[in-house]
Amino acid sequence: MHGRCGARGASSSSVEFDDKGWPCWPDREDLSAEFIRLLAAAQEGGATVSECWLTLSRINLASVSSWSEEWIKTAELNEARAELSFQNGNLITARRNWLRAMTYFHAAARPLESLDDLLTCAVDGMRRCATNLLKSRVPAGEVLSIPWTEDVCLQAYFLPSAFRDNGPVIVCIGEPGSYKEELIAKYAGHANERGLSLLAVDLLGTQVALPPERLGQRFETAMSRVLDFLSEKPGVDNTRIAIVADAWSSSLVARAAASDARFAAAVCDAGIWDSHERSFFFRHAAGHEQTGCLEECNSISRSIDCPLLVTAGEGGWLLPGALTEFGNKLGNIHHDASLILFRRAETAAMQGHLDNPTLANEVIFDWLEDRLRLRTGLS
């Protein structure tokens, strides 16, 4: 969170506000960020502002279970409305309520200290609502299991375009520990309106199939398996498959784009996270305290051949000047690469565009539309 919160701690259910006007709790940065994410989801239909504030008013942060319990209650109310609407043949309302229920279940699953039974309830509800939402779409979506290693499959959702056959696909990847259901709420509307199919992929989710150190070594092979799968899937143009990293708090997607030339476009960090970590360790070893700096473009960014877009926020964890300099260097070494920096004055400036993902996603999907040579509903 940016700015300072009020003096009261997280033992109270009273909400505090930072100097930017965002709700926060000094001792619970994770829940502060999650509530901002919920409010932002309302812009995409993934929540309603009134339900968010009403649920928050019932939460006692002194209780380990209260956060998850209250969001589950709100999620179940929306799920019940969805089921009733579906039975009555009101499919649009059913889908809208399943989408909101999915978001609220996701919020319930976020606290690291969630009790096992509450976490199981939240994750099961989230996936149940996602499955019902996909089944009610036109055309219907699919729940997929994509082979990866001998003992691990990648879990994914495929949302086909309603506008075209043999068309492009956007592969959206969440960071380790995130959920593919959140990717549906964030990206499905932007993709669907532009005639783009969407594949939302889980890496780890709640069940750690591989430890993080092994994941880093094998992630490139995972994305190659995804490309292999999509290339054989009917209705997919295998020359127009793009990859999008969600929140880019690692360079996993950038490494995947650098290792497989089949991607038609990539939206990722271009190796910034790896460069930042390396620079941090070098400076720390030399006794320098400066943070937020970057090296020159590294081997990852130099190895990505497809069109490349990096988006960042002025209020994120890197200095704006360092990002601008990195973007200039990136443009000099790459035939089609750019870095877009969102300023605080326009929002979408927090890390991962947490404060306004809608604004960032409009830029991202317009760029994807242009690079994949699309015009909505026409090509």
Q: Encoding tokens for residue 56?
A: 């928050």
Looking at the fold, whether 246 and 355 belong to one and the same domain comes out as yes
- pLDDT (average), residues 297-319: 87
110: CATH: 1.20.1440
pLDDT over 60 (residue 56) = yes
Looking at the fold, whether 123 and 166 belong to one and the same domain comes out as no
The predicted model scores a pTM of 0.86
pLDDT tens column, 268-303: 998 888 776 665 444 544 555 555 555 555 778 889
75, 106, 136 - which closes a domain: 136
- Single-letter code of the amino acid located at 238: N
- pLDDT (average), residues 59-85: 95
119, 136, 153 - which closes a domain: 136
What is the C-alpha to C-alpha distance for residues 275 and 291, in angstroms, rounded to an integer? 12
Looking at the fold, whether 90 and 151 belong to one and the same domain comes out as no
- pLDDT (average), residues 154-170: 90
Backbone φ and ψ for 54, nearest 5 degrees, come out as -65, -45
Looking at the fold, whether 368 and 284 belong to one and the same domain comes out as yes
Looking at the fold, whether 273 and 191 belong to one and the same domain comes out as yes
Looking at the fold, whether 80 and 95 belong to one and the same domain comes out as yes
- Closest-CA residue to 130 (of 162, 151, 156): 156
For the chain, the farthest-separated pair of C-alpha atoms sits apart, in whole angstroms, at 68
C-alpha to C-alpha distances, 336 to 265, 309, 350, 363, 371, nearest whole angstrom: 10, 8, 25, 16, 10
Looking at the fold, whether 197 and 334 belong to one and the same domain comes out as yes
Is residue 349 within 8 A of residue 319, CB to CB? The reply is no
Looking at the fold, whether 163 and 209 belong to one and the same domain comes out as yes
pLDDT over 60 (residue 116) = yes
Secondary structure class of 12 (helix, strand, coil): coil
- Tell me what pLDDT residue 282 has: 46
- Single-letter code of the amino acid located at 338: S
Could you give the number of structural domains in the chain?
Answer: 2
pLDDT over 80 (residue 66) = yes
List the Cα angle 324/325/326 in 5-degree steps.
90
Secondary structure class of 62 (helix, strand, coil): coil
Alpha helix locations (H) across 146-237? 180-193, 212-231
250: CATH: 3.40.50.1820
Looking at the fold, whether 112 and 245 belong to one and the same domain comes out as no
What range does the domain containing 267 cover?
139-379
Looking at the fold, whether 21 and 124 belong to one and the same domain comes out as yes
Residue percentage of the chain with pLDDT more than 90: 55
- Tell me what pLDDT residue 249 has: 67
- Closest-CA residue to 228 (of 262, 197, 251): 262
End-to-end CA distance of the chain: 42
Q: What is the 3-state secondary structure (H, E, C) of 282-326?
A: HHHHHCCCCCCCCCCCCHHHHHCCCCEEEEEECCCCCCHHHHHHH
Looking at the fold, whether 102 and 148 belong to one and the same domain comes out as no
| Those residues with Cβ within 8 angstroms of residue 320's Cβ, 6 or more apart along the chain or in another chain | 314, 341
The beta-strand segments (E) located in the chain are 16-17, 23-24, 142-147, 153-159, 167-173, 197-201, 236-245, 265-267, 308-313, 337-342
What is the C-alpha to C-alpha distance for residues 108 and 329, in angstroms, rounded to an integer? 42
- Tell me what pLDDT residue 295 has: 54
What is the C-alpha to C-alpha distance for residues 348 and 20, in angstroms, rounded to an integer? 13
Mean pLDDT of the chain: 84
Rounding to the nearest 10 degrees, give the CA dihedral for residues 342, 361, 203, 292. Answer: 0
- Tell me what pLDDT residue 375 has: 45
pLDDT over 70 (residue 378) = no
Residue percentage of the chain with pLDDT more than 70: 81
Looking at the fold, whether 245 and 355 belong to one and the same domain comes out as yes
Q: Which of 5-9, 162-166, 204-208, 231-235 has the highest mean pLDDT?
A: 231-235
* Per-residue DSSP letter, 346: G
112, 136, 160 - which closes a domain: 136
